[in-house]
Chains A and B, each alone.
Chain A
């Protein structure tokens, strides 16, 4: 399972050109819901504000914990002025929202290009508002991050801020829905692994500690910088595929159990009920998905684990698996499980990829919302990919829901008579 490149693994190629992807700012939309006393202040342009409101949809009005400090003409005139402006905006914001404990200054393309030093601003503001509020910074700009990489940048910014402890512990890294997090916490407890902590925590004060005794398990495939930051603090990664589907969840749990010296019998006993339930749930959807040909456009880096789940557990055939970025080390276990010869494409040249997709006539195309309706109008069934970030999909109990997300567009097509 640790062999990174089996002799006849997937065919990985790179592509460059126009990319139809979100920038890392989008991560705010789910991150702010996870860390409940954090606020995300984007320093950017009207475009950034417009993007977040378009992505957040109606959520924007439930006292949102994100906003944009829009850079104006006069901010572009001189940098010193921009820092004063930022201090003023942050002061006004924290006055309005005294419940905030953690403030992220989030860099954008404009703030990166004018080289506004948000790290320095965060340090300065932290000094001013400590101990009530901690201020951190990271970049969610499109020039540096693609979609879920915004979460990676955010979590990587949290790591230096974590307390130090060299005690043995398990750290589960990556935002999971609360319900999924609770399920995993129960499974780890049943396995006898502990203490188990999650990054990010649900509150700013709940951030886990890290040190030489920390073993960490990635719950998401897009956490390259976070993993590096954890490595620098002495933590060690447990290599595993990602907990999508019954098989992925089992392998993920088993990797953790092995690292903590848990007996295989106990792992089998603890995982058996979930595995059985997941199996029953998946059976219902296999009929719909088996033998279908799938095409993935790049979006979140979840594409490879999803493709693995769909091909191995649901029997789909993979035409092309696009990913915005491929971390070969973190994805090694996943790549090893993909069918030999699977076309994996890192990067994108949109129009060329659309040509390939049209020529291949897939039964289902996984893509973003900018492409979904236009492809549907060409009579090509699609599954919009963003939903996979907002819906609980990890673990045994969600395996059936995950399969259903892909089966539903096909079921719908078969139902409609107009």
Chain B
């Protein structure tokens, strides 16, 4: 058993729901106990969908246990077909129904419906949401995509865009950006799937010349199969950030045999100029901790380092399936990747890294808030505010503009930071002025001078033995601007501990500063 306070991913059938809800003309019958319909809320509330997800639950109860549940399942499949008349259906079991050993595949086959009914085997006690989404999409593509047909000779090349789902982080807006890039390269889009696709559309996947995988977590396995079955090559360069977008444009143009120059030369992202403008100088070497799904975490780390000039001091993912890729990227930054789905471990890693900015999921937003560190959300799981009404892509050149704003806004703007440092003793700029994005919560009172340092930092360094601060050194520490004071305290104590100094003096403080200065 695993003690869990928070989970980054839902069970695999939620992944299947994300595929079913993304598509049209598909219906999902889920063998599940009463109560599992809570999952509808994710779609109707977080994503504010205007229709119920196309899912029928059997919602069996204790009194139904026994031979009855198989009958309930068959009845639910029959009624769902009669009512919704889908082009195809998927059937499967949630975690509890998996234990009952009714056989959704066999039961559905026995009904002999005049449409494809695709059984899903989603092991709920081993796998999680993203795997469930990938497996469902793969099964659908495998079952529905027609046998390879000779492609008509056309003047324009065409591709499929694979990966966007329901409840995906900014999938809606990413798709619009990528469609724009593809169109300007003079390439046609054959099918976008699963978002907005019907089962009939999936049957046409083979007509495209190649595939573009936008979210490898969801679509890579389907793309690999399509490559084998239809000889379609695929690109999975994820166009998040200016550099990655340019690489994406080249990769797509390459597969299509077209010239990428017109798109690349248009040079339409503001990020490079904004990043070079002098106000951004203060961003140099800002310590940033990145965590999320693998695709977004890797992309954000690259943008942070190469396009904003930050230092990536932490990188990790909750997706074990993509641990290899994230570890490789962490190596580039000279750090060790955090691969964990335990948010307490992530919290400890963030506290230890002492970043000045956290880029993460909804959970890291809360962790950062608790630690008083600025934060921006770059990956699912997200909350309702990260399904914004405005156009807010992560991908493409406009996505890069969004990323610049998203990463920089939580930090104080350069001038503001400069003023705070210069006038820190003025009444308007005293220590109690918290960054406005942290809820404007003023510090109740300045830290008491005599505070035991180990107690103040207990969450970050539980094993740290108490190191005494001389009163004078403590006063000197308070002259350090509050937004870097935690780091100064941490570094000084580490310095003192490493040298087994019994007391931190003003000298120690400045020795440590010299030692750690970058």
Q: Which residues of A pack against B, CB within 8 Å?
A: 18-26, 43, 45-47, 49-51, 53-55, 57-58, 60-61, 64, 67-73, 75-76, 82, 85-86, 88-89, 92-93, 109-110, 112-114, 141-144, 146, 351, 368-374, 376-377
In the complex the two chains form, is A67's CB within 8 Å of B4's CB?
yes
Q: List 12 A-B contacts (CB under 8 A).
A: A18-B57, A18-B59, A51-B36, A54-B41, A70-B3, A70-B7, A113-B100, A141-B62, A143-B64, A144-B61, A370-B44, A373-B49
| CB-based contact A46/B5 at 8 Å | no
- Bound state CA distance, A109 and B344, in angstroms? 27
Q: Which of A69, A92, A142, A373 contacts B35 (CB 8 A)?
A: A142
Q: Say whether B2 contacts A72, CB under 8 Å.
A: yes
Residue from B1, B34, B56, B61 in contact with A85 in the complex, judged by beta carbons closer than 8 Å = B1
Cα of A43 to Cα of B1 in the assembled complex, Å: 9
Q: Are A113 and B3 in contact (CB under 8 A)?
A: no
Q: Given A61-B366, A93-B3, are A377 and B61 also a contact pair (CB < 8 Å)?
A: no
User: Is the beta-carbon distance between A374 and B44 smaller than 8 angstroms?
Assistant: yes
List of A residues within 8 angstroms of B52 by Cβ: 370-371, 374
Q: Mark B1-43, 1 if CB is under 8 A from A, else 0.
A: 1111111011101100000000000000000011111111110
Q: Chain B: which residue is nearest A93 at the CB level?
A: B3
B6's partner among A60, A142, A371 (CB-CB below 8 A) is A60
Q: Which of B37, B83, B124 contacts A351 (CB 8 A)?
A: B83
A residues near B65, Cβ cutoff 8 Å: 113, 143
Most buried by B among A22, A49, A141, A143: A143
- The complex places the Cα of A64 from the Cα of B83 at a distance, in Å, of 42
Decide: A47 near B99, CB < 8 A? Known: A60-B5, A61-B366, A72-B125.
no
Binary interface encoding of chain B residues 169-207 relative to chain A, with 1 for a CB under 8 A from any of its CBs, else 0 = 000000000000000000000000000000000000000
Tell me if A19 and B37 are in contact (CB < 8 A).
yes
Residues of A within 8 A of B41 (CB): 54, 368-370
Contact among A18, A43, A54 with B42 in the assembled complex (CB-CB below 8 Å): A54
Q: Decide if B125 touches A53 in the complex (CB within 8 Å).
A: no
Q: Which residues of A contact B51 (CB under 8 A)?
A: 374, 377
Are the C-beta atoms of A46 and B124 separated by less than 8 Å?
Answer: yes
> 18 additional contacts, CB 8 Å, given A60-B5, A69-B4?
A21-B35, A50-B7, A50-B14, A51-B36, A53-B6, A54-B41, A55-B38, A57-B383, A67-B4, A67-B5, A68-B7, A76-B125, A85-B1, A142-B33, A142-B35, A143-B34, A368-B41, A371-B52
Nearest A residue to B45 via CB reads A369
Residue numbers in A under 8 Å from B10 (CB-CB): 46-47, 50
| A71→B1 contact, CB < 8 A | yes
Please name the 10 residue pairs, one residue from A and one from B, whose CB atoms are nearest each other, closest first. A23-B35, A142-B35, A370-B40, A377-B50, A109-B96, A45-B95, A142-B33, A50-B10, A61-B366, A142-B34
Instruction: Report chain B residues within 8 Å CB of A18.
Output: 56-59, 76
| Cβ-closest chain B residue relative to A67 | B5
Which of B44, B45, B124 makes the CB contact (< 8 A) with A47? B124
> Smallest Cβ distance from A32 to chain B, in angstroms?
12
B411 → chain A closest CB, angstroms: 22
Return chain A residues, CB-CB under 8 Å to B95: 45-47, 109-110
Chain B residues engaging chain A, CB cutoff 8 angstroms: 1-7, 9-11, 13-14, 33-42, 44-45, 48-52, 56-62, 64-65, 76, 79, 83, 94-96, 99-100, 123-126, 128, 366, 370, 383
A64: which B residues are within 8 A, CB to CB?
5
Kindly state the separation between the CA atoms of A49 and B125 in the bound complex, as whole angstroms: 13
Tell me the nearest residue of chain A to B362, going by C-beta: A58
- Decide: B34 and A19 in contact? CB cutoff 8 A: yes
A144: chain B residues at CB < 8 Å are 61-62
* Nearest B residue (CB) for A21: B34
CB distance from B74 to the nearest CB of A (A): 14
Contact present for B96 and A22 (CB under 8 Å): no
Measured CA separation A324–B95 after assembly (Å): 23
Whether B40 and A69, one on each chain, are in contact in the complex, defined by CB atoms closer than 8 angstroms, is no
Chain B nearest CB from A124 CB (Å) reads 15
Asked whether, in the complex, the Cβ of B2 is within 8 Å of the Cβ of A50, the reply is no
**Residues in A neighbouring B123, C-beta threshold 8 A:** 73
Known contacts A18-B57, A47-B36; A369 and B4 CB within 8 A of each other: no
Whole-angstrom CA separation of A45 from B3 in the bound complex: 11
Residues of B near A50 (CB, < 8 A) are 7, 10-11, 14, 39
A57, A71, A85, A373: which contacts B44 (Cβ < 8 A)?
Answer: A373
Q: Is the Cβ of B7 less than 8 Å from the Cβ of A53?
A: yes
Question: A18-B59, A61-B370, A110-B99 in contact; A23/B34 too (CB < 8 A)?
Answer: yes
Which one of B9, B36, B38 has the greatest number of beta carbons of chain A within 10 Å?
B38
The interface residues of chain A lying within 8 Å CB-to-CB of B126 are 72-73
A57 to B7, CA, bound (A): 12
Q: Which residues of A contact B33 (CB under 8 A)?
A: 23, 109, 141-143
Taken together as a complex, chains A and B put the C-alpha atoms of A407 and B60 apart, in Å, by: 35
> Are B3 and A49 closer than 8 Å at their CB atoms?
no
